[in-house]
Amino acid sequence: MRHSHARTVASSILSPRPLARPLARPLPMLLLALLLALCACARPQPLRLELAHLNDTHSNLEPVDERLVLQVDGQPQAVRAKIGGMARLKTALDAARSQTPGLVLLHAGDAVQGTLYFNVFHGRPEFELLNALGVDAMCLGNHEFDKGPQALGRMLALARFPVLAANVDASKEPALAGRWRPYAILRVPTKGGTEPVGVIGATTPTTPRITADVGRVRFSDPAPAIRRAVAELSSQGVNKIVLLSHNGYEDDLRLAKSVAGLDVVIGGHSHTLLGDRRALAALGLSPAGPYPTVVSGPDGGATLVAQAWKWGEVLGRLSVDFDAQGRITGHSAAPALVMDKAFSQDGRPVDPASAQGAALAAAARASGAAAFPAEDPAMLTALAPYTQRIKAFQNAPVGATLSQDLVRGAASDPGPLVADSCLAAVPEADIALMNQGGLRRDLPAGPVTQGQVMGLLPFANTLVVLEVSGQQLKDALEDALASQIAARHGEALRPPHPAGFTYAVDAARPKGRRITALARMTPGGGSAPILPGDALRLVTISFLAGGGDGMDTLRKIGDRTDTGTVDSDAFAAHLARLGASGPVAPPAGPRVSLAR
């Protein structure tokens, strides 16, 4: 429902009771008495708001295997630790709730996509476990749209909490109409009763550009939509307002500075680790800013911006004191990595009862940035039937052994190998292109499993063959660079991975002139320049062929064939082929040269 803001303000000036809309009929006595009673206690009260929050859990229902560097007796020791997982988070939340009964749990979007659970079950276990975790509200993330509107509708029907997105309009999309709303008013228990807290949702307006199919859902600029929601909440007497935002940390800081009336911004999307620099350094981690980051809003009041890293590894915890006027009078924070006490080193588990195990656990504990709850048995039981069904598939060997770790962003990036696999799957193609954003995991040295391949390439894109000219190939690369440069906030450029050709980038040059060289790789290690008039057969993933990552040029190419081959299948087959003749190493590179 939307009504005129001006009229609401006027009516609340004229009337002692701020009614949202004029009443056409006389009220029955009982209802009138009830309204008077509500209004009598509707005067805003001071509140200590206890927030817990997650974001970008990305189908990580089980713990994540994470690399940490602990300081043991002043010496850095690399370990792997099991962090997060819904069962461990449940125990941490139960403990927090026993201390603070009014705890509010928020999820800032991207609950799905990233593990086999989503590939196989399309969001059901994720939402069942979020219900069991006791989520009070969630905002939509871009990845919630990954399997299209029908699947999203089925997923959101499972949620037993409000889903929020003030700047996303689904009224023209039948599968999704009514599945979310701009904001919710949570009644937070206080000593004297309850106090209303407004929670507004906002989702990145880049979603249609980075998603295959959002149907007829329309995204708008978040700021005006949030302002409208703040005005509606204010007109209902709500003066404590949280923005639940899936826009990324930098945009959250901008929104906090520019939109009046926001007290707290709980964010996601950028997977930003916030916290105490020294505490996190003791775990080998480096935060992007303090938790919370305090921003001065347009009305001079403080706005607290928080985010809880990624994959459910950090449970955000923020306590905010409000006075009756809704001003923040103080806050305290206790975000923590939620982790197992047991570690592994050099690929072997360390016995927690050993001296080394105890020293590692003590080092992690001494950081002050970690908590060590056990896994909740009921949560494990709820997850078990899903786990059993995917385990068999997950553990199946692909038939290849990697000679070294394939680490994204490093010289051993899995990207060139993935791009090669696209080319190998379509023998008539000349060249291939793979985006960096589509590669979701690193691959460890050793035998490769089907589950690892699906973790690396979870999106089930199909391979599409496009007939392009040399000029169109160059334009497509320019598209990708322009889109990244427009969207990035100081992050390193991540140009697409080529196969069968190489290119050079000078990001400092103007749009359209950043590709400074483009050449085919010829047999025997040579190269030949690609000329504008050359005809090339390009194979790429359906996401890019459909214009993803800003690749408008590719979207407009009519001469195309969708092979129906899924990218992860092509990669597994390529690995198996290479693996038949010995350990697999990343191809010699680099294929993209960046001007400094």
Determine the interface stretch with Zn ion among 109-117, 184-192, 329-337, 533-541 (rule: CB under 5 A). Answer: 109-117
Q: Tell me whether residue 8 or residue 59 sits nearer to Zn ion (CB atom).
A: 59
Name the minimum Å distance from CB 84 to Zn ion.
Answer: 17
Give alpha helix (H) positions in 69-145. Answer: 86-99, 116-121, 124-133
Name the minimum Å distance from CB 289 to Zn ion.
Answer: 18
97 alpha carbon, distance to own chain's centre: 25
Q: Tell me whether residue 117 or residue 249 sits nearer to Zn ion (CB atom).
A: 249
Determine the interface stretch with Zn ion among 122-130, 268-276, 443-451, 493-501 (rule: CB under 5 A). Answer: 268-276
Q: Tell me whether residue 142 or residue 502 sits nearer to Zn ion (CB atom).
A: 142
Exposure string over 298-318, b if 16+ CB within 10 A, otherwise e: eeeebbbbbbbbbbbbbbbbb
Q: Which of 58, 147, 269, 514 binds Zn ion (CB under 5 A)?
A: 269
Instruction: For CA atoms 303, 130, 230, 234, give the dihedral sign.
Output: negative
Q: Tell me whether residue 141 or residue 198 sits nearer to Zn ion (CB atom).
A: 141
Q: Which residue is nearest to Zn ion (CB)?
A: 269
Q: Tell me whether residue 125 or residue 248 sits nearer to Zn ion (CB atom).
A: 248
Kindly write out the interface string for residues 308-347 of this chain, putting x where it contacts Zn ion by CB under 5 A and - elsewhere. ----------------------------------------
Determine the interface stretch with Zn ion among 104-112, 251-259, 303-311, 510-518 (rule: CB under 5 A). Answer: 104-112
Q: Which of 110, 146, 479, 549 binds Zn ion (CB under 5 A)?
A: 110
Determine the interface stretch with Zn ion among 136-144, 299-307, 357-365, 482-490 (rule: CB under 5 A). Answer: 136-144
Determine the interface stretch with Zn ion among 138-146, 271-279, 286-294, 578-586 (rule: CB under 5 A). Answer: 138-146
Instruction: For CA atoms 413, 418, 419, 423, give the dihedral sign.
Output: positive
Q: Tell me whether residue 50 or residue 56 sits nearer to Zn ion (CB atom).
A: 56
Strands (E), 429-559: 431-434, 446-449, 462-469, 497-499, 501-505, 515-522, 526-529, 535-541
Residue 43 Cα distances to 16, 37, 214, angstroms: 12, 11, 42
Q: Tell me whether residue 408 or residue 560 sits nearer to Zn ion (CB atom).
A: 408
Kindly write out the interface string for residues 420-459 of this chain, putting x where it contacts Zn ion by CB under 5 A and - elsewhere. ----------------------------------------
User: Could you tell me which of 381, 379, 314 has the C-alpha nearest to residue 91?
Assistant: 379
Determine the interface stretch with Zn ion among 106-114, 208-216, 300-308, 368-376 (rule: CB under 5 A). Answer: 106-114
For Zn ion (CB under 5 A), the number of binding residues is 4
- Whether a cis peptide bond, with omega within 30° of 0, leads into 590 is yes
Stretch 277-306 residues interacting with Zn ion (CB under 5 A):
none
Please give the Cα distance from 277 to 293 (Å, whole number). 13
Tokens representing 363 are: 């080092």
Stretch 139-168 residues interacting with Zn ion (CB under 5 A):
141-142
Q: Tell me whether residue 142 or residue 461 sits nearer to Zn ion (CB atom).
A: 142
Maximum Cα interatomic distance, the chain, rounded to a whole number of Å: 91
Tokens representing 230 are: 């703040």
Q: Tell me whether residue 144 or residue 263 sits nearer to Zn ion (CB atom).
A: 144
How many CA atoms within 13 Å lie on the side-chain side of 323? Answer: 6
Angle at 401 between CA 400 and CA 405, to 5 degrees: 130
Name the minimum Å distance from CB 310 to Zn ion.
Answer: 10
Determine the interface stretch with Zn ion among 84-92, 134-142, 427-435, 445-453 (rule: CB under 5 A). Answer: 134-142
User: Could you tell me which of 554, 535, 538, 536 has the C-alpha nearest to residue 546?
Assistant: 554
3-state secondary structure (DSSP) of residue 261: coil
Kindly write out the interface string for residues 52-91 of this chain, putting x where it contacts Zn ion by CB under 5 A and - elsewhere. ----------------------------------------
The length of the chain, given as a count of residues: 596
Q: Tell me whether residue 153 or residue 268 sits nearer to Zn ion (CB atom).
A: 268
Q: How far apart are the first and last CA of the chain?
A: 52
Q: What residues make contact with Zn ion under the rule CB under 5 A?
A: 110, 141-142, 269
